[in-house]
Structure 1
Amino acid sequence: MNKSAEPNRAARAYLGYVKVVETLGILTMAALVSIIVAQVGCRYILGFSLYWADEVTKSLMIWTAFLMAGLAYTQGELPAMRLLLELFPAGLVRIIDIIMAVLIVLTLIALARYGFEFAWRTRHQSMIALNISLFWVHVSIPVGCVLLIFHVALHKWLAPIQPYLETPVELVQ
């Protein structure tokens, strides 16, 4: 690979981030499947339930959803109403996309703020089976919102022409 084709520091950082998030997504989904299979096996074959399985699977599912939302956004996998936009000229579509990105970021900032306040208010409450503070489940809301803000900003400011990129790395090279 020649020097000009090598990704720069920003591209390498983004690729590293994507790899970490994808790995976490794979690990949490594998853990979810394993726990659910173990719970079903214990309940119907061995005759007892894993008392903690429900709380762990709910918590993992919440964290997985909030961690993976940013990657889903960047890859264009979140629902979008773009059908009507195809009727407008490209310049107007770009303006609408920027306005929508600003509205999305403002909404995510509000959600992150109130999500953190909610997590903080529930810090003294514990999950019954695990005796772990609900803060650690609820803090996934602001963490996920901040990651999604990062993705919206990266997508809108580094990919002004393409509405959905597979990966914006080529634009940060």
Structure 2
Amino acid sequence: MAEGSAFDHWFTAANKAILVFLMSAMTVLVFGNVVGRYGFGVSFGWADELSRFAMIWTAFLGVGLALRYGQLAAVEVVQLMLPESGARAMRISVAAVMAAFLVALVILGTQFTLFSWNLRTPVLQIPRGIPYLAVPIGAALGLIHLTLSLSHFLSGEDAALDGFDPNAIELPGDEAGGAEVSKPSGRRSPAGDA
């Protein structure tokens, strides 16, 4: 599963599409509930609970993409001060720690999900394990993204795929494709180096 493979592009596109759907649903639910509450005096408790669950899923499913595109918080100054061999050793260490943490999240998140499956949410009365399932699934997706972008990460290259630039803002009616926002200098990696 090399970066740039058909699976890689499909996997990344599917992850992005799910996030767009969840964020859109969350926006519609919250906006509709606010309009209902303040415009008509009607509030829907299920919309509040469902939008909260959508936010949880969005956060955990977005971790892998944030990792891949170097959008996680990082301290890069140490790596930038090291010679290339030292920087590579640091990136290997960071990748190993990230992988171990994500594996722990998969294991512990699965245990907690199973433990809470018989409990019900207050309003929707669905198993509490459903929102908690975001933890192991999000961590597993993070592991897949880390694996797919590992060669870029270890080399210190920018790992953006398909021309994705998280720092570019596309303005409506701009034929040039968008306005560039300044990007931090220095090497970037999918996890934003330690």
* Among candidates 73, 78, 98, match of residue 104 of structure 1: 98
Verify: 1:92 aligned to 2:81, yes or no: no
* Kept after mapping to 2: 8 A contact 1:74/1:167: no
What is the identity, as a one-letter code, of the residue corresponding to 2:159? L
C-alpha distance in 2, partners of 1:103/1:28?
29
User: How far is the alpha carbon of 1:56 from its aligned partner?
Assistant: 0.3
What is the identity, as a one-letter code, of the residue corresponding to 2:26? L
Root-mean-square deviation (Å): 2.0
C-alpha distance in 1, partners of 2:56/2:113?
13
User: How far is the alpha carbon of 1:153 from its aligned partner?
Assistant: 2.1
Question: Match for residue 56 of structure 1?
Answer: 50
Question: Match for residue 116 of structure 2?
Answer: 122
Structure 2 unaligned blocks of 5 or more: 164-194
- Residues 10 and 90 (structure 1), Cα distance of their counterparts in 2 relative to 1, 3 Å cut: closer
Structure 1 stretch displaced more, 158-167 or 129-138: 158-167
Q: Flag the structure with higher helix content.
A: 1
Structure 1 stretch displaced more, 160-169 or 150-159: 160-169
User: How far is the alpha carbon of 1:124 from its aligned partner?
Assistant: 0.5
After superposition, the C-alpha distances for 1:68-106 in whole angstroms (9 at most, x for unaligned) are: 111111111111111221010011100110011111111
* Among candidates 41, 46, 56, match of residue 47 of structure 1: 41
* Among candidates 131, 135, 139, match of residue 141 of structure 1: 135
Verify: 1:38 aligned to 2:16, yes or no: no
How many positions carry a matched residue from both structures? 162
Question: What's the TM-score, normalizing by structure 2?
Answer: 0.78
* Kept after mapping to 2: 8 A contact 1:66/1:141: yes
Question: What's the TM-score, normalizing by structure 1?
Answer: 0.87
* Kept after mapping to 1: 8 A contact 2:53/2:131: yes
* Kept after mapping to 1: 8 A contact 2:116/2:129: yes
